[in-house]
Amino acid sequence: MGTEGKVIRCRAAVAWKAGEALIVEEVEVAPPKAHEVRVKIAASGVCHTDWAYLHGAGRGMELRPFPLVLGHEGAGVVESIGAGVTGFSPGDKVIPLFLPQCGECECCLSAKTNLCKANWSKTQQGVLADGTSRITCRGQQVFQFLGVSSFSEYTVVLETNLTKIHPDAPLDRVCLLGCGVATGYGAAVNVAKVESGSVCAVFGLGAVGLAAVMGCVMSGAGRVICVDVNPEKFAKAREFGVTECVNPRNHSRPVQEVLVEMTAGGVDYALECVGDVEVMRSALESCRSAWGVCVIVGWTELEEMKLRPFHLLMGRTLKGTYFGGWKSVRDVPGLVEEHLAGRLKLDEFVTHTLSLDQVNHAFKLLAGGQSIRSIIKM
């Protein structure tokens, strides 16, 4: 592309401080070092987690170092590769992954988990393997959120945090498989392991929750009950196949009591896709005793959840999931192909397509409950 080995000056949305609006700035993106890949981002979804790290930093979320380029749900094309990279070539369509798959650590070698540990603590702190980021702005190092930073026209990621996808993949749709849709869908099919004919409840109808609904429906669930405090989310949820909608605000008793009554004892599977510790408790208590399974998908790092051990003693299972249980490098290309074959919805999640300059508007839409997913097109 003529830019190989050179610093690329491009635009990125920089979060200078927690709680403040992003500012679209000219940034410098350094060439990839060994085992790194520079990617020209084509599109990026705006996930609740981006918003939460900006506005919930120090409350529900650990404080990350700023300045920071957010965005972790992107897709793009390889611009250039660093020394020692063998799995990627310029021009490849790719999805950056906040969850790596190195193939060598004890987690990668186990079929029990997708939690690869390669450079984990570094990418969580916004830097790559050598302890620095590849983005600078106004002479300052800018941290890369989760080692990705897809709210930038270019970024550099570790080769273990990238997967090559089908050349026909529509980048402004498959970016959603870099986080939200893959996570919610996987939570239902890989983690809850929803069975045919079962009764499911999904709490929270953002992209993650709707993807969980999709997973329940595709697994042949007999009933999918959705719970959201925003009734405007219900029409789309019905299009995705939910059978009943419950707004906790329309009831004077706890929503778990409503669900237990509706299902004569509780649901087989409950998926919490909100990130609220009270909702997590409701989800667990909505589960049927003996075999009900509650999966926590919504994110919080610092808050504490209350539960009565009795609910577990009576045979309920409480689990959580990161990225829906998918082994990231191995499984995301298959999800892209499922979409290309018409079996996995993506278009239906997109409510807004915006430019990078409109990224703060995308956050407003998300926080105001007016969007499912906004796609930022670079």
Rounded to a whole number of angstroms, the minimum distance from the CB of residue 102 to Zn ion is 3
The residue whose Cβ lies closest to ligand NAD is 206
Chain positions contacting ligand NAD, by CB under 6 A: 47-49, 52, 179-180, 183, 203-209, 227-230, 233, 248, 273-276, 279, 297-299, 321-323, 366, 369
Of 49 and 263, CB closest to Zn ion = 49
Rounded to a whole number of angstroms, the minimum distance from the CB of residue 138 to Zn ion is 28
Rounded to a whole number of angstroms, the minimum distance from the CB of residue 320 to ligand NAD is 7
Distance CA 248, CA 250 (A): 5
Q: Is 131 helix (H, G, I), strand (E, B) or coil?
A: coil
229 binds, among Zn ion, ligand NAD, none (CB under 5 to 8 A by kind): ligand NAD
Rounded to a whole number of angstroms, the minimum distance from the CB of residue 89 to ligand NAD is 29
Distance CA 262, CA 12 (A): 48
205 binds, among Zn ion, ligand NAD, none (CB under 5 to 8 A by kind): ligand NAD
52 binds, among ligand NAD, Zn ion, none (CB under 5 to 8 A by kind): ligand NAD
Of 82 and 369, CB closest to ligand NAD = 369
102 binds, among ligand NAD, Zn ion, none (CB under 5 to 8 A by kind): Zn ion
Of 80 and 371, CB closest to ligand NAD = 371
Count the neighbouring beta carbons within 10 Å of the beta carbon of residue 59: 13
Of 27 and 210, CB closest to ligand NAD = 210
Of 114 and 133, CB closest to Zn ion = 114
Rounded to a whole number of angstroms, the minimum distance from the CB of residue 197 to ligand NAD is 25
Q: Is 217 helix (H, G, I), strand (E, B) or coil?
A: helix
Of 76 and 206, CB closest to ligand NAD = 206
299 binds, among Zn ion, ligand NAD, none (CB under 5 to 8 A by kind): ligand NAD
206 binds, among ligand NAD, Zn ion, none (CB under 5 to 8 A by kind): ligand NAD
Rounded to a whole number of angstroms, the minimum distance from the CB of residue 145 to ligand NAD is 13
Rounded to a whole number of angstroms, the minimum distance from the CB of residue 207 to Zn ion is 9
Q: Residue 13's beta-bridge partner residues?
A: 24
Closest CA to 149 of 13, 54, 53, 17: 13
Of 11 and 117, CB closest to Zn ion = 117
Chain positions contacting Zn ion, by CB under 5 A: 47, 49, 102, 105, 108, 116, 118, 179
CA distances from residue 238 to 85, 242, 250, 267, 348 in whole angstroms, order as listed: 45, 5, 19, 19, 12
279 binds, among Zn ion, ligand NAD, none (CB under 5 to 8 A by kind): ligand NAD
Of 205 and 221, CB closest to ligand NAD = 205
The DSSP result for 272-335, as a single string, is E-S--HHHHHHHHHTBPTTT-EEEE-S--SS------HHHHHTT-EEEE-SGGG--HHHHHHHH
Closest CA to 17 of 60, 63, 74, 49: 63
CA distances from residue 5 to 10, 34, 130, 131 in whole angstroms, order as listed: 15, 12, 18, 20
207 binds, among Zn ion, ligand NAD, none (CB under 5 to 8 A by kind): ligand NAD
First to last CA, the chain: 17
Strands 36-45 and 154-158: antiparallel
118 binds, among Zn ion, ligand NAD, none (CB under 5 to 8 A by kind): Zn ion
> Which DSSP helix (H) or strand (E) runs through 259?
helix 255-262
Of 78 and 365, CB closest to ligand NAD = 365
> Please, which residues have CB within 8 angstroms of residue 217's CB and are 6 or more apart in sequence?
224, 240, 241
**Tokens (6 digits) for 203:** 């709490």
Rounded to a whole number of angstroms, the minimum distance from the CB of residue 315 to Zn ion is 32
Q: Residue 12's beta-bridge partner residues?
A: 25, 152
Q: Is 191 helix (H, G, I), strand (E, B) or coil?
A: helix
